[in-house]
């Protein structure tokens, strides 16, 4: 399994490395930061990735924006917190306060199946290999 890098973390705080589209075996997505011709239109036209304010940040993350958290980030955060137990705002605050290396360590641990070691998608509540339940804890 590919090791998580900063390139795998979207500007909005989404860990693309645990997205179902990134993890699937066919027609995989390369992540929000990778320019690719085979990306779906909704990814290419993403409001966050194409944000004029994001382009002005040094870090490339929304936490550095003067409008953080903007309406779009709040909407994403609400949807992902409710449905998947992932908070974009918490992720961004964690990166800002602790750095990307610590964030990558935390995410690797959080989404690693405790039983077989497979990376579990944030969009699923169990390991695709052994069916072990994923922990529901956002702040672990």
In this structure, what token pair is assigned to residue 12?
A: 């909005």
Alpha-carbon dihedral sign for residues 105, 11, 75, 96? positive
Write down the pLDDT at residue 138. Answer: 44
For the stretch 43-86, pLDDT in tens is 778 888 889 888 899 999 999 999 999 999 999 999 999 999 89
Write down the pLDDT at residue 65. Answer: 92
In this structure, what token pair is assigned to residue 86?
A: 């992932």
Write down the pLDDT at residue 91. Answer: 96
Q: What is the pTM of this model?
A: 0.87
CA 13 to CA 116: how far, in whole Å?
A: 26
Rounded to an integer, the average pLDDT of 122-126 is 89
């Amino acid at each position: 399994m590919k090791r998580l890098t900063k390139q795998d973390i979207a500007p909005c705080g989404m860990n693309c490395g645990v997205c179902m589209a990134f993890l699937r075996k066919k027609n995989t997505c390369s992540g929000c930061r990778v320019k690719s011709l085979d990306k779906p239109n909704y990814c290419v036209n993403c409001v966050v990735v194409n944000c004029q304010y994001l382009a002005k940040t040094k870090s490339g993350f929304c936490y550095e924006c003067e409008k953080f958290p903007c309406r779009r980030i709040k909407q994403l955060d609400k949807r992902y917190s409710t449905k998947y137990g992932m908070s974009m705002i918490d992720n961004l605050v964690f990166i800002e306060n602790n750095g990307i290396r610590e964030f990558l360590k935390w995410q690797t641990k959080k989404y690693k199946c405790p039983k077989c070691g497979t990376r579990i998608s944030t969009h699923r509540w169990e390991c695709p290999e052994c069916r072990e339940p994923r922990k529901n804890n956002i702040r672990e």
